[in-house]
Structure 1
Amino acid sequence: MKNDMTKIAYLVNQYPKVSHSFIRREIHGVEASGISVGRYAIRSCHAELVDDEDQKELALTRTVLESGGFTLLKSLAAAIVTRPHQVLQALKLAVKFGRRSDRGVLRHLIYLAEACVLNDWFQADGIQHIHAHFGTNSTTVAMLCTALGGPTYSFTIHGPEEFDMIQSLSIVEKVQRSSFVATVSSFSRSQLYRWCDQSQWDKIKVVHCGVDRSFFTDATPMPSEPRIVCVGRLCEAKGQLLLVEAIKPIVAAGIAIKLVLVGDGPLRPQIEALIAEGNLQDHVEITGWASGETVREHILASRALVLPSFAEGLPVALMEALALHRPVISTYIAGIPELVIPNDCGWLVPAGSIAELTSAIKTAIELPAEVLAQMGQTGAARVLEQHDVAIEAQKLANLFKDMTAKPAVERGLTETRDLIVPLVQSSQ
């Protein structure tokens, strides 16, 4: 019997990954809509996985670099023999992108070999379309797969890295060569509008990251303990160093407070040193990486979640906290104001302002529980409306079905037009 189910490849640089639970939810949502999804990753980070759900995803994921260097060379050699013209075109593309990139040409030649391996797998697995997450090397490899004669590709842009490196990552040309591009907020869409020719705007779609229905439960009692939580990778962009500085005046004033940092990362030693220097060991706890259920417990045990980021897309941690009826404290950057309404479901402060961050945290730990509960209820309603993963995944599923339903010739003509029109317009 003929199998008419659409088959999509999800391609991510590292998958599964502790900080990529939103991709796992999205994949499950796409599968629930009747699409078969194959999981593919460039490299593995299995050593840091702590969630049982991630372990299940790991067993379903094929990882290119775990196949070994011989497999890369074998697939590349076979491609040269069987489709030399396409390999030559893909080689030219890899060299062009490599010269623009801070990764260099050699790394892009490796991406070409990775694309050859993936195309072999895609053909064997019956993959009809590739969807990559992040506009970095995973999308580069997906684009090279298409250039080699493999399936069409699309990708999701999150930010801020893609917008910080718009030219060195060749984002504009990746958009031109793609079937469509998903972005996680109106802000991120506007950044693509800023750089891409207007002829490309129709293919840029807002598809939010989301949380699954298990988060949308009845409100739990607001804790009386003055505890706040920060969930995220310990890195410069998330602002945890600023957060530790912000609670110093609260502690100095003799106000009880406990800050829990859920996560790990390169900044952990510096944060620990700052905690020791300020004698804040009784007020700040770093848990390291935690499972999804443990993260949930930390959020529910807190009066608010705080994320004082300097650079973001639209953090999933904010969605999770609001869905669990906890208000949030964050910054006026990127897509965050599209979700968080100040004094309605949380507080927004100027990025980098210690004084205003301190004031917001102090308010969150001192407000009556019933006021915080009302803010949490408002936030949960906003997340249910904007970030239900089942609804957002269905948007992607519809795009995948529309793309794969087109005849191959029509898809090829569309991609050629998308490449040629901007070049003609720029020459006029």
Structure 2
Amino acid sequence: MSHTAPARIAYLAAEYPAVSHTFILREVAALRRLGLEVETCSIRRTDPVHHKGDAEAAEGKRTFHVLNTARNPKALLAAQKPALTQPKTYFSALRRAWSMRAPGIKAALYQLIYFAEATVLARHLQTTGITHLHGHFANASTTVTMLAAELANIPFSFTLHGPSDLTDPARWRLDLKVARAAFVSCISYYARSQAMLAAHPDHWDKLKIIHCGVEPSRYAPAKALNTAPEIVFVGRLAAVKGVRLLFDAFQTARETVPDLRLTLVGDGPDRAALETAAAPLGDAVTFAGYQTQDAVADILARSDMMVLPSFAEGVPVVLMEAMASQIPVIATRVAGVAELVQDGTSGFVLAPGDVDALARAIVTLAQDPARRAIMGKAGRAQVEADFAIDGEAQRLAALFRNTHPDHPRPEGDAF
């Protein structure tokens, strides 16, 4: 059977562009550089705080927003026209949405909402001539992706990340999504293993390793060493990132290296509480808030180490950015982190929640500039070899090009 490249690809995310998901923006840009037409769609319109840079602002303007359209009664009604013109397809997708519901009235209501969103998106896909739909994260937005692709009669695929889309694979019917997808882009071997656990072995060959990636050229090697060692944390200020643990380790480390400084880049629901918790540390801790990609690169270039003591992760792109900046990283041994960071070579990989080990690792790097430099160079080399976005985009583009527009799907409602 001959294979043809999809003429037009659409990407769907729950929120796009978003500060915490710049890897999607990079992936889209890299695919476009390879000559693929990629349209972007988002369930919700993101707040302007997510549009810090020119690229983010431009993407925000060109992205189709499902809920904004669905709030227009005429547009929502028009999206239900296939109930009359293509009843078999329409009601098959509706039955599938209903069959995926979790127990409870609220869960059932959400499935109907996802179906309504899918009808609006499907109409947009057909109007704009989209021939392949790709989602990011395997939870609600990929439920919409799968249903919209069925309504529009086009193939779909999705990227499996973690941790959020791996915490409850039964609820989000990861097995069904893998079965019906043309392929699944797994960001790590860990993510692929969890998909293998959920999916039938007949579909394991669809599970492909495609890393999230960075542009190494964006990140200049760290500059002159600081008199006072600078630690940087980049991420959402949320419980899962372990920032309170970082404060405890930082305070302990300062007993040995009193001039240590810590900058936190990012924002989130825990910021106010974390600012209160950090108050006893005075001006040794700086909250920098959200920053553009270029600003983050500048901060990394002025830092001596990155620390990310998360309790759950996928494969953190911020660690790739730090490694591309030739600074060592300290991270926790969760999910796919050890696939990126080589313990003792490009940084330290520690047991999650071990504040004493975290403090010792910080002190070790703070007191050994030569070791920091060696680790930094090793990290940069690994990112260039395995996590550069252009190489990952080429692999993803090949998957899109090898997906036939008439990709067969399972028939009926067996799933």
TM bin, normalised by shorter chain, reads over 0.9
349 and 102 in structure 1: CA distance in 2 versus 1, 3 angstrom threshold: farther
Partner of 1:242: 245
8 Å contact from structure 1 (residues 325, 375) kept in 2: yes
Deviations for 1:11-44, whole angstroms, at most 9, x for unmatched residues? 1110001111111110111111221000111101
2:303 maps to amino acid: S
Q: Which moved more, 1:283-292 or 1:47-56?
A: 47-56
| 1:37 is the counterpart of 2:31 | no
Q: Which residue of 1 aligns with 2:67?
A: 65
Distance 1:228 1:219, change over 3 A: closer
CA contact (8 A) 1:71 1:117 kept: no
Where does residue 189 of structure 1 map in the other structure? 192
Comparing 201-210 and 285-294, the one that deviates more: 285-294
Change in CA separation of 1:238 and 1:398 when aligned onto 2, cut-off 3 Å? same
Correspondence 1:8 to 2:9: yes
Indicate yes or no: 2:92 matched with 1:96. no
The 8 Å contact of residues 223 and 302 in structure 2, kept in 1 or not, is answered as no
RMSD: 2.1
Contact 2:14–2:42 (8 Å) recurs in 1: yes
**SS at 2:40's partner residue?**
strand
> Structure 1: where are the runs of 5+ without partners?
424-428
- Post-superposition Cα deviations, 1:390-410, rounded to whole Å, max 9, x if no partner, equal 01011111111111xx252xx
How far the C-alpha of 1:334 sits from its partner, in A, is 0.8
- Equivalents in 2 of 1:53, 1:80: separation in Å? 39
1:201-216 to structure 2, matched below 5 A, reads 201-215=204-218
State the 4+ residue runs in structure 1 displaced beyond 6 angstroms: 417-420
User: Which stretch shows the higher mean deviation, 339-348 or 145-154?
Assistant: 145-154
1:426: which partner in 2?
none
Asked if 2 retains the 8 angstrom alpha-carbon contact of 1:72 and 1:114, the reply is no
* Structure 2 CA distance for aligned equivalents of residues 191 and 166 of structure 1: 9
- TM-score, normalising length from structure 1? 0.91
| CA–CA separation in structure 2 for the residues paired with 1:213 and 1:240 | 27
Identify if the C-alpha distance between structure 1 residues 407 and 259 changes in structure 2 by more than 3 Å, giving closer, same or farther. Answer: closer
Moved more, 45-54 or 353-362: 45-54
Q: Which string of whole-angstrom CA distances, capped at 9 and with x for unpartnered residues, describes residues 233-252 of structure 1?
A: 01111111110111122234
Quick one: structure 1 residues 407 and 393, their matched pair in 2 at CA, closer, same or farther if it must change by over 3 Å?
A: closer
SS at match of 2:267: coil
1:282 counterpart SS class: helix
SS at match of 1:155: strand
Cα distance in 1 for partners of 2:68, 2:311 equals 35
More helix by share: 1
Aligned residue number for residue 394 of structure 2: 394
In structure 2, the residue corresponding to 1:259 is in which secondary structure?
strand
Instruction: Choose the corresponding residue for 1:256, options 251, 254, 259.
Output: 259
Q: Structure 1: how far apart are the matches of 2:364 and 2:387?
A: 27
CA distance in 2, matches of 1:5, 1:417: 22
Does the C-alpha gap of structure 1 residues 40 and 71 become closer, same or farther in structure 2, counting only changes over 3 Å? farther
Taking the aligned partners of 1:47 and 1:267, their CA distance within structure 2 comes to 20
One-letter amino acid of the counterpart of residue 230, structure 2: R
Residue equivalent to 1:294: 295
Deviation at 1:217, TM superposition (A): 4.3
Does structure 1 residue 266 correspond to structure 2 residue 293?
no
The letter of the residue matching 1:371 is R
TM-score, structure 2 normalization: 0.94
Q: 1:418 to 1:290 in 2, by over 3 A?
A: farther
Letter in 2 for 1:264: D
> Separation in 1 of the partners of 2:75 and 2:103?
24
Q: How many angstroms apart in 2 are the aligned matches of 1:69 and 1:407? A: 31
* Counterpart residue type for residue 33 of structure 2: A
What is the rounded CA distance, in whole Å, between the counterparts of 1:87 and 1:304 in structure 2? 53
What letter corresponds to residue 190 of structure 2 in structure 1? F
How far apart are the structure 1 equivalents of 2:157 and 2:103? 21
Give me the whole-angstrom Cα distance separating, in 2, the residues matched to 1:222 and 1:189. 39
- 1:116 to 2:98 alignment: no
| Cα shift at 1:101 | 8.3
Q: Secondary structure at the match of 1:416?
A: coil
CA distance in 2, matches of 1:183, 1:101: 31
Instruction: Give SS of 2:81's match.
Output: helix
Residues 92-241 of structure 1 correspond to what in structure 2 (within 5 A)?
Answer: 92-99=95-102, 104-215=107-218, 217=220, 220-241=223-244
Aligned equivalents of 2:242, 2:104: Cα separation in 1: 27
Local SS of the residue matching 1:306? strand
Provide Cα deviations, 1:301-337, integer angstroms capped at 9, x if missing partner: 1100000011000000000000111110001111111
Retained in 2: the 8 A contact 1:314–1:336? yes
SS at match of 2:283: coil
Give SS of 2:185's match: strand
State how far apart, in whole Å, the 2-side matches of 1:71 and 1:119 are: 15
Amino acid of the structure 1 residue aligned with 2:63: T
Measure, in 2, the Cα distance between the counterparts of 1:308 and 1:6: 43
Decide whether aligned partners of structure 1 residues 136 and 300 sit closer, same or farther in structure 2, where only a CA change above 3 A counts. same
Which residue among 387, 404, 410 is the counterpart of 1:416? Answer: 410
Q: Distance in 2 between the 1:418 and 1:299 partners?
A: 52
Change (3 A) 1:345 1:179: same
The alignment partner of 2:281 has SS state of coil
Q: Which amino acid aligns with 1:199?
A: D
- Give secondary structure in 1 for the equivalent of 2:349: strand
Alpha carbons of structure 1 residues 197 and 284: separation in structure 2 relative to 1, 3 Å: same
